[in-house]
Chains A and B, each alone.
Chain A
Amino acid sequence: MTSLFKDRIEASVILGAVAVALLFTIATKGLWLQNLPSLLILTAGVGIVAIGQAVLMTSGEVDLSVGSVYAFSGVGFIWFMGQTGDVALAAILAVAVASLIGALNGALTTWFHVPSMIVTMGGMFVYRGCVYLMTAGHSLSTPRPLRDSAVIEMLGGRTAGVSHSILILLVVMVAAVFMLARTRLGNHIFSVGGEPQSAAANGISPARVKIIAFSLCSSLAALAAVVAVCREGTIYATSGKLMELETIAAAVIGGCTLRGGIGSAWGAVLGVFVLSSLKGGLMMMGAPTSWYVAFVGLILIGFLVSSRLVNGRLN
């Protein structure tokens, strides 16, 4: 049982999450627990994007444009709502546009052999620039006549005090875990990320698999944006800033490697939980606000080094 746990790539993030929860609960005399519902909503928002990032990293690529695609999709969702007057259609269109963006990222990366970090960095500027153009640098809100729509309530509301965004995260997480573990596509993603030559020799097209992974990653960023707009009613020009780094950090904490071939969707979600807990928890413990960012960085580095020491598969 111990070795089974130790061999799991998520072992360190499970231990980390438990340690963080215990530490902050004790250090803040239970105050941190009161913040848990908000923390889970925060985890849901970034977690959906982190799942996409984890899947892509498992295929051996990385997406630096997710934060910008998130904001772009949020703005697009509101624009489509205004144009069509139909929330569901607007949501589908926003996710569809994002999936095309992801496919374009994948095509540029695989067909032209440009490193994904460069392609998506370019995308990060392009889509953020589009957001600034479309919002004139400000915020956009859900059109007033559609604010009481059933779809908005379904995606952004609450049931028995539980935010629907948390339920959506759970559904996406279960689907991603199933896809990675039980489907042919999941198998191909691991193969292409770990041993691309062997995968190609076995008839798997690395380009096709990676394009799908890129597309999935951008689509999930869009889904997260749609859920956020439904929950909060507004998207800002600055929404999603640094989300790319946060999701990559969460995916790595959760057991992914930058080389590919190893990854976990639910590990990435736990990674987001740990990261989000650190920020809020340190503030609740009274860390000076101008210092806590550095604290988070230090803890993150220490956490990653120790997880590599514990789990040989990650080295």
Chain B
Amino acid sequence: MLKSCLKMFLATSALTLGLAAGSAQAQEEQKKYTFYHLLWSMTDSIVQLHVKAGEAYMKSHPNVEIKYLGPEAYDPAEHARFLDTIINAKPDGIALHISNPDALLPGLKTAREAGIPVVSVTSHPPTEADNKKLEGSYLTWVGADERLIGVRMGERLLQEETPKRVAYLMAHLGHAGHEMRAEGFFASMPDGVPTDKVAVGDEPTAAMDVIRSYLAANPDVGAVFGSSPQNKWITDVLAELGRTDVKVLTSDESPSSLECVLAGLCFATFSQEFPIQGPLAYEIMYQYKETGMAPVQPIVTGPLVIDAANAQMFKDLALTAFGEDGYAELSPF
């Protein structure tokens, strides 16, 4: 009796182990490729558009797994460390935002040597010198021309009025995308309009203090160009100072920026088609792995200015990605 029980136990155990091993193998086979998307900052709500688009991509490509990683707040050195960690995980492809070519170059070189395909997503350094350094380090680039974003936003502002002074509020000096956006914005201003780049940091109280002090010291400021996480801080300070004359330009089609525009607190924001950037990058990596093929030209996805006239349309699109509750949670307005 004992012997037969033991036999049955051993047989059941062997079967269970075999099934588990088979299931793990099947799962392994099912997830043929693991791609990593290295994000620049997990505290920027707009990255959720990449994440949501990735979820949809994984549904349509069951053999692809996409993992999202990134520092909680942007920092070039931290960004580079995350890239090193991802390379050590031996992924089948990496999508990333090349925010600082010098910081990321060693990692990109290692990825190339390891045969890991890389796609540059969102902003990409536009200068010839930077691109020369990055030559051969990535398959292609999918994103908006950051300098052009600044120019287009400046042009939209000038259609409304010519400000006496403008400022670009930066959470972190040295971020390639923001530096380019600021450069384009300043270049679009007529001669004689003073321009300031203001480093505000990412801690709300400290940032609001800087914004408040800057505006108090410069009462002639007619427009400030910030970014999505700063919307509430800027508009709260303007309300506190009673500055209804300052136009606020912000970034991307995040719930915060769209609600800011819809509430009339922000003058304009822009879209660089975040929802399609990620899937295009994943598809490029997928096709490269399958066929060895890569696009010969970068894929430029914007910008398009969003103002009171078309914000509702973008809100409807964002609602399909985030859902009612998710959208409301991401907007402080």
Which A residues contact B (CB, under 8 angstroms)? 28, 31, 34-35, 38, 42, 45-46, 128, 132, 136-141, 228, 232-234, 236-243, 276, 279-281, 283-286, 289-290, 293
Contacts and interface: CB of A to CB of B under 8 A. Distances in A.
Given A42-B205, A137-B42, A239-B204, 19 more contacts: A28-B217, A38-B240, A132-B43, A137-B72, A138-B43, A138-B329, A139-B229, A232-B236, A234-B204, A234-B232, A240-B203, A241-B202, A241-B203, A279-B206, A280-B216, A281-B213, A284-B216, A284-B217, A289-B197
Interface in B37-68: 41-45, 47-48
Among B199, B205, B229, chain A packs the most CB atoms within 10 A around the CB of: B205
B216 A35 contact: yes
B332 interface: yes
Contacts of A290: 173, 197, 199
A175 B145 CA distance: 57
Nearest to B216: A35
Contacts of A236: 43, 204, 229
Contact of A35 (B43, B44, B72, B212): B212
B205 A280 contact: no
A154 to B, nearest CB: 20
A281 B212 CA distance: 11
Nearest to B39: A137
B217 A238 contact: no
Contacts of A239: 203-205
Contact of B72 (A132, A139, A233, A286): A132
Contacts of A241: 73, 202-203, 206
Interface centre among B73, B216, B330 (most CB of A within 10 A): B216
B209 interface: yes
B276 interface: no
A283 B206 CA distance: 13
A141 B332 contact: yes
A284 B218 CA distance: 8
Nearest to A140: B329
A284 B43 contact: no
Most-contacted residue by chain A among B213, B232, B331, B332 (CB, 10 A):
B213
Contacts of A132: 42-43, 72
B214 interface: yes
B319 interface: no
Contacts of B173: 290
B205 A237 contact: no
B198 interface: yes
B330 A42 contact: no
A313 B280 CA distance: 66
B134 interface: no
Contacts of A284: 213, 216-217
Contact of A238 (B43, B210, B213, B330): B43
A140 B328 CA distance: 10
A236 B236 CA distance: 14
A139 B217 contact: no
Contacts of A240: 203
A31 B203 contact: no
Contact of B213 (A128, A140, A279): A279
Contacts of B232: 139, 232, 234
